[in-house]
């Protein structure tokens, strides 16, 4: 079904990140496009070009998950929260690399409008929202 015809379903940032977590942690392909604005934006600290559509991101993450599974690459995942705001983020860890953090933002209509990948060290993260670790 073309992306434009998908029924759009609002979702919280944390629920969306949990779907991404399942993709990385279990090599499971989750239906995420229905939760994303069609003009969804994805930025990575390590890549100059921004992805500018949900369809492009879904293609990218699906291919990435298939590669992780094929190469038997294990990524540890954990939902954490930015200490100052309580905003959820998905922390991804691989052996011998610095942890990275995915942060999602919702539109006023409850769809995921953007997601950014940044070094986790940019943020003070805690295991529970409101916790002052």
Over the stretch 14-60, which tens digit does the pLDDT of each residue have? 999 999 999 999 998 888 999 999 999 999 999 899 999 999 999 99
Mean pLDDT, the chain, rounded, equals 92
- Domain span at 109: 3-126
pLDDT of residue 131: 63
**Percent with pLDDT over 70 in the chain:** 92
Would 116 be classed as within a structural domain? yes
Would 105 be classed as within a structural domain? yes
Would 14 be classed as within a structural domain? yes
Neighbours of 40 (CB within 10 A): 24
| For residue 5, pLDDT beyond 80 | no
Total number of domains constituting the chain = 1
Would 133 be classed as within a structural domain? no
Sheet of strand 100-106, all strands in order from the earlier edge strand to the far edge:
36-44, 112-119, 100-106, 88-93, 76-82, 125-126
CATH number at residue 79: 3.10.450.50
Would 131 be classed as within a structural domain? no
Would 107 be classed as within a structural domain? yes
Would 22 be classed as within a structural domain? yes
Would 132 be classed as within a structural domain? no
Question: What would you report as the CA-atom Rg of the chain, rounded to the nearest whole angstrom?
Answer: 15
| For residue 130, pLDDT beyond 80 | no
| For residue 88, pLDDT beyond 90 | yes
Mean pLDDT of 98-116: 97
């Amino acid at each position: 079904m073309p992306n434009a015809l998908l029924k759009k379903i609002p979702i919280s940032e944390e629920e969306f990140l949990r779907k991404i977590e399942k993709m990385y942690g279990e090599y499971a392909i989750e239906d995420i496009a229905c939760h994303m604005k069609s003009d969804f934006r994805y930025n990575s600290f390590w890549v100059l070009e921004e992805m500018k559509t949900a369809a492009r991101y879904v293609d990218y993450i699906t291919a990435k998950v298939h590669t992780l599974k094929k190469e038997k690459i294990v990524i540890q995942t954990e939902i954490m929260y930015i200490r100052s705001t309580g905003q959820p983020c998905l922390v991804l860890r691989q052996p011998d690399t610095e942890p990275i953090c995915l942060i999602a933002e919702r539109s006023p209509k409850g769809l995921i409008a953007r997601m950014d990948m940044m070094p986790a060290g940019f943020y003070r993260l805690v295991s529970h929202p409101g916790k002052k670790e």
